[in-house]
Amino acid sequence: MRKATLSVHAESTTNRTTRAYSAHEFSTLSTKLHKNAALPLDIKLETLVSVFLACFGLVLGSDPLKPVSWSAWAGQIERDGGGANPFRGLEERVGFMDIRAQRREFAEWAKQQGGA
């Protein structure tokens, strides 16, 4: 029953004067009926136009671009305040621990605890 429906649908789409069908219909019909069918021109054009419109809409709807030069970007961050600085965590981090100094402190503490 399903094959008959597809073949009737395929015949009805080819007999129309305007052949408007989706890429999904083409994919379904081409895998069932025509193994090596080329993608129709209207689907190619529709895809290109839709990709162009999507890119154009993204460009028009995007925020203004940030300054590219490092000095302009850093100057803007300084004017706006340090809260927007993405490197703030790295600039204000605690230095690495000095293990030898901590060993000495622990040894002195252990001597004081043991000697008292």
Domain that holds residue 43: 2-59
Nearest to 13 by CA among 43, 45, 35, 49: 43
| DSSP category for residue 69 | S
Number of domains in the chain: 1
The larger pLDDT score, comparing residue 112 to residue 6, is at 112
What pTM does this model have?
A: 0.38
- Residue 82 CA to residue 75 CA, distance in Å, equals 11
pLDDT computed for residue 39 by the predictor: 78
Q: For 59-72, write each residue's pLDDT tens digit.
A: 999 988 776 788 88
CA–CA distance, 3 with 29 (Å, rounded to integer): 10
pLDDT at site 5: 44
Beta carbons within 10 angstroms of residue 86's beta carbon = 7
Say if 24 falls within a structural domain: yes
Question: What helix, strand, coil percent values describe the chain, rounded to 5?
Answer: 70, 0, 30
Identify the residue whose tokens are 């503490």: 109
Q: Which band of pLDDT confidence, cut at 50, 70 and 90, is reported for residue 21?
A: low
Whether the per-residue pLDDT at 42 is higher than 90: the answer is no
